[in-house]
């Protein structure tokens, strides 16, 4: 049998410039792909047009270039993949797995009170012909455990019916949900392993469920710790985390390698970025991050 080529990816949302947390994830997935002598793709998660901000994609590309994190092949833009997402919707519809939902957020918040948002199945019996109102499409979930072994976080399992309920695949404003888009794109690019932040660990069972229903091969998963600020809160664009500056890439790369527990030798501070990346690929050992869920980066 031919040996499968490793294919990884970095998938930023262009809702703002890269911050330290996203650079940390980008570098880890880049190092993993190169260590495995594979390919590293760049995907721009711009399917949720409401969250896209002007100039963010350009700024992300410039920052990656400033750190010499060069991707392979063409960039995949989710906004250009809608036909593929729609085909998946049709295939799930043929399996009678989808139904229209007209519940508003307000209505659901009232029903759920302060409980986490588990969809209570109000519209489960509706057919698209039953409603003239704009509707979202939800997928029926099974009362069954879905499990996988994460390479850093160990065995994870979740009953999605009990912990999230039927979830939305296409919003009423016709925007495809991230869970659907990400699995279609990972399949399209032939991604063999997904490295991303642990904040998406809980979403993985939903993605595995979709992969099963669409007969797609699931990649392997490695969920990295998230970087937190002094108050223990994840660095994010929503919380206005500082954009990374490409002005001193050597210092920044070494900071990221420290955070990734790779212990770069102090002599590397005199090296250039190419030499640093070569050292980092050669010595890359992600198991040093095993079981770590968050890292205070200040
Ligand atoms: N675009 C997503 C994010 O920024 C990442 C999606 C993924 O890696 O699956 O959180
Ligand atoms: Zn509903």
Residues above pLDDT 90, as percent of the chain: 82
3-state percent breakdown (helix, strand, coil) of the chain, nearest 5: 40, 20, 40
Rounded CA-CA distance 125/26 in Å is 43
Residue 150: which of 209, 77, 202 has the closest Cα? Answer: 202
pLDDT value at 282 more than 90:
yes
Judged by average pLDDT, the poorest of 112-116, 152-156, 281-285 is 112-116
Structure tokens at 72: 């392979």
- Residues 157, 88: one domain? yes
State the sign of the Cα–Cα–Cα–Cα dihedral 74, 227, 193, 6: positive
Q: Which of 178, 207, 235 is the last residue of a domain?
A: 178
Residue 43: nearest ligand to its CA?
1
- Residues 16, 142: one domain? no
Can you list the alpha helix ranges (DSSP code H) found in the chain?
Answer: 20-35, 56-66, 82-94, 105-112, 160-163, 178-189, 204-213, 249-259, 273-283
Which residues approach ligand 1 with their CB closer than 6 A? 11-13, 45, 182, 196, 200
- Residues 72, 96: one domain? no
Q: Which of 122, 156, 178 is the last residue of a domain?
A: 178
Return residues with CB closer than 5 A to ligand 2 (ion): 101, 103, 122-123
User: Residue 109: which CATH number?
Assistant: 3.40.50.620
- Pair 113, 80: CB distance under 8 Å: no
Q: What is the pTM of this model?
A: 0.95
- 3-state DSSP call for residue 91? helix
pLDDT at position 130, please?
77
Structure tokens at 198: 């642990």
Q: What is the pLDDT of residues 18-54, one digit of tens each?
A: 999 999 999 999 999 999 999 999 999 999 999 999 9
The residue whose two tokens read 């279609």 is 184
For residue 25, give the ligand 1 atom closest to its CA.
Answer: 8
Q: What is the pLDDT of residues 221-236, one digit of tens each?
A: 999 999 988 777 877 7
Structure tokens at 102: 């007209």
- Residues 111, 223: one domain? no
Helix (H) or strand (E) holding 290: none
What's the rounded mean pLDDT across residues 179-190? Answer: 98
pLDDT at position 238, please?
67
From 49, 178, 181, give the residue whose CB has the most ligand 1 atoms within 8 Å, as the site to mutate. 178
pLDDT value at 241 more than 80:
no
Residue 103: nearest ligand to its CA?
2
pLDDT at position 116, please?
57
pLDDT at position 291, please?
87
Helix (H) or strand (E) holding 8: strand 7-10
Residue 189: nearest ligand to its CA?
1
CA 190 to chain centre: 15
pLDDT at position 235, please?
78
pLDDT value at 85 more than 90:
yes
pLDDT at position 153, please?
97
- Residues 187, 73: one domain? yes
- Residues 139, 259: one domain? no
The residue whose two tokens read 């793709």 is 41
pLDDT value at 108 more than 80:
yes
For residue 145, give its domain range. Answer: 83-178
């Amino acid at each position: 049998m031919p040996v499968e080529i490793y294919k990884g990816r970095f998938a930023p949302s262009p809702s703002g410039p890269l911050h330290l947390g996203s650079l940390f994830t980008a570098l880890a997935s880049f190092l993993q792909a190169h260590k495995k002598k594979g390919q590293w793709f760049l995907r721009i998660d711009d399917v949720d047009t409401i969250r896209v901000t002007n100039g963010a994609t350009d700024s992300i590309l410039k920052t990656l270039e400033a750190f010499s994190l060069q991707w392979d092949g063409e960039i995949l833009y989710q906004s250009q993949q809608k036909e593929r997402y729609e085909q998946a919707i049709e295939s799930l519809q043929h399996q009678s797995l989808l139904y229209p939902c007209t519940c508003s957020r307000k209505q659901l918040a009232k029903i759920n009170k302060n409980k986490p948002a588990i969809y209570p199945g109000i519209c489960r019996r509706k057919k698209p012909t039953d409603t003239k109102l704009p509707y979202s499409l939800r997928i029926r979930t099974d009362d069954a455990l879905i499990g996988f072994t994460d390479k850093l976080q160990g065995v994870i399992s979740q009953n999605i019916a009990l912990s999230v309920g039927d979830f939305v695949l296409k919003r009423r404003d016709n925007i495809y949900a991230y869970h659907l888009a990400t699995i279609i794109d990972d399949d399209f690019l032939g991604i063999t392993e997904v490295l991303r932040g642990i904040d998406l660990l809980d979403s993985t069972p939903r993605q595995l469920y979709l992969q099963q229903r669409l007969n797609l091969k699931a990649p392997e998963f490695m969920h990295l710790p998230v970087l937190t600020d002094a108050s223990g809160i994840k660095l994010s664009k929503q919380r206005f985390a500082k954009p990374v500056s490409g002005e001193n890439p050597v210092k920044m790369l070494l900071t990221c390698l420290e955070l990734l527990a790779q212990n770069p030798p102090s002599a590397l501070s005199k090296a250039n970025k190419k030499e640093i990346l070569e050292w980092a690929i050669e010595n890359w050992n992600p198991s040093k991050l095993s079981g770590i869920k968050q890292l205070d980066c200040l």
